[in-house]
Amino acid sequence: MNTANAAQHDMRWHNDGHTITMRINRSEIEIVEVSCPGGDECSSRSGCVVKYFVSRYGLECNIGACAPEEVMEICWALVGDDYDIDAAQLWFVPIKDEVFYAWMQSRV
């Protein structure tokens, strides 16, 4: 995924099977695990960029909405260069977000 090309900084959504496992602890939703299906799209020097950002920032990276569920499949996008991961930003959206899902289907 590393490249010196400026076009790399454009946002591109990936629907590749990443999931987030959660549980409710009193009034809080806790992230238990981030599952990575592997592949080149999410790899960086820090490992999987999805795992890196969700482990570090939690649900703050979420820009979608859906009913809470134990295992949530997500789409994700990285803005910035994965070579300098601390200067980049990752956003994810639950697959079950109806508005986002309709938009994704219209692009296929």
Q: Is residue 1 part of a domain?
A: no
Which of 13-17, 66-70, 103-107 is predicted least confidently? 103-107
Report DSSP state, residue 61: G
Q: Which domain holds residue 21?
A: 6-106
pLDDT higher than threshold 50 for residue 55: yes
Question: From CA 87, how far away is CA 83, in angstroms rounded?
Answer: 9
- What residues contact 20, with CB distance under 8 A and at least 6 apart? 31, 33, 34, 35, 54, 71, 72, 74, 92
52 in any annotated domain: yes
Q: Model pTM?
A: 0.81
**Number of domains composing the chain:** 1
Domain assignment present for 101: yes
Asked if 77 and 7 touch (Cβ cutoff 8 Å), the reply is no
Could you tell me the pLDDT band of residue 106, with boundaries at 50, 70 and 90? confident
